[in-house]
Amino acid sequence: MATQQQIIDLTYATLQDKADIVKAEQDGVILDTFHYGIINQMRLNNRITYADIKSYDSSLSLASSYLPEIKGLGKMVDITSLTAYNSPILERFDISMCTKLTNIYAQNCAKLESIGTTVNLVNLVNLDLSRTAFKDSENIVLPVTLKTLRMSHCGTVTSIMNASGRNLTELQLQNNAISYVGNVNTWGEMTKCELQNNTLDVASVDRVLSGLRNTYSQNQVLTLLNLSGNVAPTGGNTNADYLYLDTQGVTVIID
């Protein structure tokens, strides 16, 4: 394997397809940091340099690929969007250094368990990890910029680090193992909130209902709140917050 120094200012004239890149890797010319799928997507063709890679500031689209791992994202710090959905053997990638990312679409990746940490992704707007094997939720710290979070049907997601969700418009966390939800009073822009089929306790169910009642009273943008498959709120379908949202025409589903 070549060193990072060898990758800098590298010129590889025929680096255009998988065979060329594999050959280059075998020659020790390119770090095996980068998968050929990434190199192809970048379309840099006859010149691959560390600077080229680092400054690649476009969308990286690797949807429906057969990569087990997307390697090298730590050196592609300027990418703005990563698409990797429908990739059946993808197990991990690490976006921790990609602070310009606005979108991560990695849904329907049955083996995906980890994506690094989002703590420094201060521009992130859309994150979709639904229907994956995601287990690393302690590293999913939601930036305040986030508008849509989809992590449904992951099964083992137990919590979400939600310091402030004031720009969240859509939350899909159904079919997981989430037992606690907090900071609901910051969800002022929420239009669709799906938390069904988790393990929320009655305090969390009550908190979501009362929090979204409060925000609804201010801007009336909520259209759907689904809490079924947890426990019933205090008072069941006579709960005052549930009845308030009901009379406002908001579709609210509870046990």
Partner 1 sequence: MSNKKLEKKYKLVWNSDLEILFYSEKEGSISVGGNSYVFDADTKEEIDAKILELGLIVIDPN
Q: Report the residue from 33, 102, 118, 130 that binds partner 1 according to the rule CB under 8 A.
A: 130
69-93 burial by CB neighbour count: b if 16+ within 10 A, else e?
ebbbbebbbebebbbbbbbeebbbb
Q: What is the DSSP letter of 72?
A: T
Q: Which stretch binds partner 1 (CB under 8 A): 1-9, 94-102, 132-140, 224-232?
A: 224-232
Q: Which stretch binds partner 1 (CB under 8 A): 7-15, 39-47, 212-220, 246-254?
A: 246-254
Question: To the nearest whole angstrom, how small is the minimum distance from the Cβ of residue 58 to partner 1?
Answer: 27
Q: Which stretch binds partner 1 (CB under 8 A): 12-20, 38-46, 62-70, 229-237?
A: 229-237
Question: To the nearest whole angstrom, how small is the minimum distance from the Cβ of residue 129 to partner 1?
Answer: 10
Question: To the nearest whole angstrom, how small is the minimum distance from the Cβ of residue 16 to partner 1?
Answer: 36
Angle between helices 202-219 and 240-247 (to 10 degrees): 30
Question: To the nearest whole angstrom, how small is the minimum distance from the Cβ of residue 27 to partner 1?
Answer: 44
Calculate Rg over the CA atoms of the chain. Answer: 22
Q: Report the residue from 164, 229, 231, 234 that binds partner 1 according to the rule CB under 8 A.
A: 229
Q: Report the residue from 68, 88, 235, 249 that binds partner 1 according to the rule CB under 8 A.
A: 249
Comparison of 197 and 210: residue with beta carbon closer to partner 1: 197
Q: How far apart are CA 99 and CA 110, in angstroms?
A: 26
Instruction: Scan residues 51-90 and list those touching partner 1 (CB under 8 A).
Output: none
Q: How far apart are CA 228 and CA 205, in angstroms?
A: 10
- For 202, residues 6+ apart whose C-beta sits below 8 A from its C-beta are 231, 232, 233, 234
Q: Which stretch binds partner 1 (CB under 8 A): 57-65, 87-95, 182-190, 237-245?
A: 237-245
Comparison of 2 and 133: residue with beta carbon closer to partner 1: 133
The answer to whether 224 contacts partner 1 (rule: CB under 8 A) is: yes
Q: How far is CA 98 from the centre of its chain?
A: 13
Which among 25, 27, 31 is positioned nearest to 8, based on CA atoms? 31
The answer to whether 172 contacts partner 1 (rule: CB under 8 A) is: yes
Q: Does residue 120 contact residue 142 with C-beta atoms inside 8 Å?
A: no
Helix ranges (DSSP H) in 92-228: 202-219
The answer to whether 132 contacts partner 1 (rule: CB under 8 A) is: no
The answer to whether 177 contacts partner 1 (rule: CB under 8 A) is: no
Q: Does residue 254 contact residue 228 with C-beta atoms inside 8 Å?
A: yes
Residues engaged in binding partner 1 (CB under 8 A): 107, 130-131, 150, 152-153, 172, 174, 196-197, 223-224, 226, 228-229, 236-237, 242-243, 245-255
